Chains A and B, each alone.
Chain A
Amino acid sequence: MRKKNFLAALAILAAIVVVACGGAEKAPTETAKAPAAAPASGTASIAGTIAYANGDPDTAISMNADPKCATLHKEPVLTEKIVTGETGGLANVFVYVKAGLPAGKYPVPETTHLLDQKGCQYRPHVSGIRTGQKLIIRNSDPTLHNVHALPKVNQEFNQGQPFENMELERTFDKAEVMVRFKCDVHPWMSSYMGVVDHPFFAVSDAAGSFKIDGLPAGEYTLEAWHEELGTTTQKVSVTEGQAASVAFSFAAGGVPSS
């Protein structure tokens, strides 16, 4: 009977080892994009501003959940959810051409896009990346992080980076606005990345300004996305060599005013 029990225990342990090893981290899904004829680029551009009149003050984060994070900052750290400039411009708004582009595939850039974890915050907080473009995620902190991407149409992943200067590489295969990143270790950490299959996107700066270059002439639907205030769209017509001007405005409560 003892031998029987021992063998049964061995079998159970073996099953666990098999499941554990089989369930280990999956390889990143990268698809090689077949080269296709790229639509002609243009010389038109769209410059614009994002206004947010009801400038709620950003709130400070407590980093006490990880004492190492708290020691990395002398000044209070803000959530970066609502960042407004002195003139009422709204930063961290992802603006991109949602519709109207000529059909075709734009070549994937050779450059990499970096998402850094520094001071227990993601840098940048909001950014854009191309489908198929190489994304490098780095841990620049002297503490551990987990990088948890929460896409809805791309592949979700959650990977640990226990040591400083560790890097991991990922790509997103499908266009998706937006993909949220979070750190489950430090719940205040989040970043948003717009994944688009063309180069016509921008993120508003501290003054609420943005610019999209290289557009061919045409009529486009432009969408502005903000993590707290939602999305708003506008139609814009551009002609070659000209710069069109667009003004987006968000209102409090997440309802765009235009």
Chain B
Amino acid sequence: MSPGPSAAPGGTALHRFALGLACGVVLLIAAGALVKSKEAGLAVPDWPLSYGSLNPPRWWQIENVRAEHGHRLIAGAVALATVALAVLASRREPRRWVRRLAWTAVAAVLAQAVLGGITVLFFLPTAVSVGHAALAEIFLCLIVALAVVTSRRWRAAGAVDPGRAPASAGITSVSPVAATVATVLVYLQILIGAVMRHTGAGLAIPDFPLAFGRLVPPRFDFGIAIHYAHRLGALAVAVAVAAVLAAALRRARREPALAGAAGAMALLVVAQVALGAAVVLGGRAVPVNTAHVATGATLLAASFALTLMSWRLARPAREPRAVARAIGGLGEAAG
């Protein structure tokens, strides 16, 4: 297959499309979080249809059906958009590995739909529901990767004169390894949070910031342990993001965009900790719960984008490897 005549315009369209889709995926994750927060996962008992039809009667007027069926409709729109993105990539993207990445995203969103169906038909088994949450974040990262590698900035970082190293070679304000560590920690933290949510342990430790009035809970069961692990995970993420931010600020002049991204990550961490506290102190209020999950997904997306760019800037001539390294880090974390 031959790429389109002009890679750059196609790349711009792809980039915008992928960027918009990444926002759609965050919205989809938030819709899923709303379903879980309202315990509405079984309000539509069949799948792939809803009450035997494409749209159940009065679905928009009934809260729990609106949550679950709305999640399915957004998922359908995201799946179709992902297929459209892959088709667009097949037509306009000259890099084979990017086209493959787009079709991998299609496979991921379809697998995600099947997982969602299985969890409904089997009454929300914890392992499947957590797997559904885990794959959602991987899918988000795939779309973020497509948005990043089709960006003008990514292409510019790889512009190499024959026989010369690129101007940006080896120069990056953020250590790629530090950024990868931060991304992996954010993903692990999301996984722990998913286990906590789907085992009903969100209020296993009822106070904040202490745990039963102490730094370490006086006793442990599974609920307390997973909840406490989520709090320790937040601490680890905060330290990792602070390290990334410190490195980015030291060389902010050279890479102001990366420094800005690191600053955004730090703000997201602060917001996320505040939301986590509000979840506990507010008794798991539905809007706060939902915002906590959506902010976590946004943080992961930002961290992953930063990781990709930092690898790209450090090794401009090895772009597929940069993506592979970043995704490989998540794969190891999930495994």
Interface residue from A5, A12, A67, A162 paired with B90 (Cβ < 8 Å): A5
Interface size classification for chain B = 35 or more
Tell me if A47 counts as interface (CB < 8 A to partner B).
no
Complex: how many Å from CA A163 to CA B57? 8
Given contacts A9-B83, A23-B118, A187-B39, contact A1 B99 (CB under 8 A): yes
The total number of A-B Cβ pairs within 8 Å is 94
Q: Quick one: CB contact mask for A88-110 with B, threshold 8 Å, 1 for yes?
A: 00000000000000000000000
Q: What distance in Å separates the Cβ of B158 from its nearest Cβ neighbour in chain A?
A: 23
Tell me if A66 counts as interface (CB < 8 A to partner B).
yes
Within 8 A of B (CB), among A1-56: 1-2, 5, 8-9, 12-13, 15-16, 19-20, 23-25
Contact status B61-A25, CB under 8 Å: no
Q: Which residue of A lies closest to B62 (CB)?
A: A66
Contact status B45-A16, CB under 8 Å: no
Q: Which residue of A lies closest to B102 (CB)?
A: A5
Contact status B47-A162, CB under 8 Å: no
Q: Quick one: CB contact mask for A65-90 with B, threshold 8 Å, 1 for yes?
A: 11110000000000000000000000
Interface residue from B56, B62, B107 paired with A12 (Cβ < 8 Å): B107
Interface residue from B1, B39, B99, B110 paired with A13 (Cβ < 8 Å): B110
Contact status B46-A185, CB under 8 Å: no
Within 8 A of A (CB), among B221-236: none
Residues of A within 8 A of B86 (CB): 5, 9
Complex: how many Å from CA A156 to CA B103? 38
Q: What distance in Å separates the Cβ of B160 from its nearest Cβ neighbour in chain A?
A: 26
Complex: how many Å from CA A131 to CA B185? 52
Complex: how many Å from CA A68 to CA B63? 12
Interface size classification for chain A = 20 to 34
Residues of B within 8 A of A184 (CB): 39-43, 45, 64
Interface residue from A8, A13, A162, A187 paired with B52 (Cβ < 8 Å): A162
Tell me if B51 counts as interface (CB < 8 A to partner A).
yes
Q: What distance in Å separates the Cβ of B202 from its nearest Cβ neighbour in chain A?
A: 17
Complex: how many Å from CA A143 to CA B174? 57
Contact status A67-B57, CB under 8 Å: no
Contact status B83-A146, CB under 8 Å: no
Complex: how many Å from CA A160 to CA B47? 11
Contact status B57-A144, CB under 8 Å: yes
Complex: how many Å from CA A162 to CA B53? 10
Contact status A158-B114, CB under 8 Å: no
Q: What distance in Å separates the Cβ of B46 from its nearest Cβ neighbour in chain A?
A: 6
Contact status B58-A158, CB under 8 Å: no
Interface residue from B44, B47, B103, B107 paired with A146 (Cβ < 8 Å): B44
Within 8 A of B (CB), among A186-210: 186-187
Tell me if A257 counts as interface (CB < 8 A to partner B).
no
Complex: how many Å from CA A185 to CA B67? 10
Tell me if B48 counts as interface (CB < 8 A to partner A).
yes
Q: Quick one: CB contact mask for A128-157 with B, threshold 8 Å, 1 for yes?
A: 000000000000000110101000000010
Q: What distance in Å separates the Cβ of A3 from its nearest Cβ neighbour in chain B?
A: 9
Tell me if A59 counts as interface (CB < 8 A to partner B).
no
Contact status A16-B61, CB under 8 Å: no
Contact status B42-A65, CB under 8 Å: no
Contact status A67-B61, CB under 8 Å: yes
Q: What distance in Å separates the Cβ of A246 from its nearest Cβ neighbour in chain B?
A: 38
Residues of A within 8 A of B56 (CB): 144, 160, 162
Contact status A12-B57, CB under 8 Å: no
Given contacts A9-B106, A159-B45, contact A144 B64 (CB under 8 A): no
Complex: how many Å from CA A24 to CA B90? 35
Q: What distance in Å separates the Cβ of A185 from its nearest Cβ neighbour in chain B?
A: 5
Tell me if B14 counts as interface (CB < 8 A to partner A).
no
Complex: how many Å from CA A68 to CA B110? 35
Q: Which residue of A lies closest to B53 (CB)?
A: A162
Contact status A1-B65, CB under 8 Å: no
Contact status A1-B42, CB under 8 Å: no
Tell me if B212 counts as interface (CB < 8 A to partner A).
no
Contact status B90-A156, CB under 8 Å: no
Q: What distance in Å separates the Cβ of B254 from its nearest Cβ neighbour in chain A?
A: 39
Q: Which residue of A lies closest to B64 (CB)?
A: A185
Residues of A within 8 A of B53 (CB): 162
Tell me if B291 counts as interface (CB < 8 A to partner A).
no
Tell me if B195 counts as interface (CB < 8 A to partner A).
no
Residues of B within 8 A of A160 (CB): 44-46, 51-52, 56
Tell me if B123 counts as interface (CB < 8 A to partner A).
yes
Q: Which residue of B lies closest to A13 (CB)?
A: B110
**Interface positions of A (Cβ within 8 A of B):** 1-2, 5, 8-9, 12-13, 15-16, 19-20, 23-25, 65-68, 143-144, 146, 148, 156, 158-160, 162-163, 184-187
What would 5 A/B residue contacts be, using CB atoms closer than 8 Å? A1-B96, A5-B103, A20-B117, A144-B56, A160-B44
Known: A20-B47, A146-B45, A185-B65. 13 other contacts (CB 8 A): A5-B86, A9-B86, A16-B48, A16-B114, A65-B63, A144-B57, A160-B56, A162-B51, A162-B57, A163-B57, A184-B43, A185-B43, A187-B39
A-B interface, 9 closest residue pairs, ranked by CB to CB distance from nearest = A1-B1, A162-B51, A65-B63, A158-B45, A184-B43, A184-B42, A160-B51, A146-B45, A66-B62
